């Protein structure tokens, strides 16, 4: 049903489910993966962004998340959510300058242990949409392994990878910053939002994805499996 990509992911899910001991991961992993053989606009997608204290999931922490869903090929504004995550340690000044989340603000957030079950419920059976897969997938996997002892498994679309595909097809020069989220958005004349707010970035990633997919197959809906990393 899923094709080679889906079969591999589903085998990973099945193996992880057999080994899972925590109820949160048992519930998440028991949900079938999205059918990635279907056209992308027939599959539910969650655009997700994290603001973090750094890039290494092994030693850094999530400070906020923003998410918005795409259903039927349309961004569902009513699904938008932004939330602060309580910091476990002081936020480095170099990090706060970027995302503007202070220690006082971070203390008002909920604990990651409280947020993760809800976030996993939002993601179960859907496809995850991100810009630069290593961050969101990396931090989700690290959180699931630390809290529940299981890996995080989900089909993923990465707009950075799709942008790279399109620029190569256009014979576009790939400068150092060409694949940054807001530089790719400039190619499509998309609106400008303040960067490094998790909800803004989740929304801008969703908008960019719609523009990229329209260029990849302008007259038909691409099979979801052809968009995944």
pLDDT digits (tens, 9 = 90+) for 61-94: 999 999 999 999 999 999 999 999 999 888 988 8
Q: How far apart are CA 63 and CA 84, in angstroms?
A: 6
Look at residue 6 in the predicted model and tell me its pLDDT: 55
Inter-axis angle of helices 112-123 and 133-148, nearest 10: 120
Q: Kind of pairing, strands 62-71 and 45-52? A: antiparallel
List all residues 6 or more positions away from 30 whose beta carbon is below 8 Å from its beta carbon.
17
For the chain, domains (ranges, CATH) are 3-227 (3.30.420.10)
Look at residue 88 in the predicted model and tell me its pLDDT: 84
Look at residue 145 in the predicted model and tell me its pLDDT: 98
Check pLDDT > 90 for residue 210: yes
User: How many CB atoms neighbour CB 209 within 10 A?
Assistant: 24
- Global pTM? 0.95
pLDDT digits (tens, 9 = 90+) for 24-40: 999 999 999 999 999 99
Look at residue 1 in the predicted model and tell me its pLDDT: 37
Extract the tokens encoding 70: 């795409």
Q: Kind of pairing, strands 156-158 and 127-130? A: parallel
Average pLDDT of every residue of the chain = 94
């Amino acid at each position: 049903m899923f094709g080679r990509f889906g079969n591999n992911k589903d085998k990973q899910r099945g193996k992880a489910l057999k080994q899972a001991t925590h109820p949160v991961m048992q519930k998440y992993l028991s949900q079938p993966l999205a059918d990635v053989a279907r056209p992308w606009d027939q599959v539910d997608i969650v655009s997700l962004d994290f603001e973090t204290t750094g890039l290494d999931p092994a030693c850094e922490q999530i400070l906020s998340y923003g998410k918005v869903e795409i259903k039927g090929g349309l961004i569902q504004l009513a699904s938008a959510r932004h939330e602060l995550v309580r910091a476990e340690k002081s936020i480095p000044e170099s990090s706060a300058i970027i995302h503007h989340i202070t220690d006082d603000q971070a203390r008002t957030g909920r604990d990651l242990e409280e947020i993760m079950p809800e976030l996993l419920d939002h993601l179960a059976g859907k496809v995850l949409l991100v810009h630069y897969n290593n961050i969101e997938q990396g931090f989700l996997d690290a959180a699931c392994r630390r809290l529940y002892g299981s890996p995080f498994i989900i089909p993923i679309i990465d707009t950075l990878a799709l942008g790279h595909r399109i620029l190569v097809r256009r014979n576009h020069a790939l400068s150092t910053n060409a694949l940054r989220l807001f530089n790719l958005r400039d190619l499509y004349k998309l609106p400008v939002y303040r960067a490094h707010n998790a909800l803004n970035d989740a929304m801008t990633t969703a908008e960019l994805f719609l523009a990229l997919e329209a260029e990849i197959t302008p007259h038909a809906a691409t099979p979801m499996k052809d968009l995944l990393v």
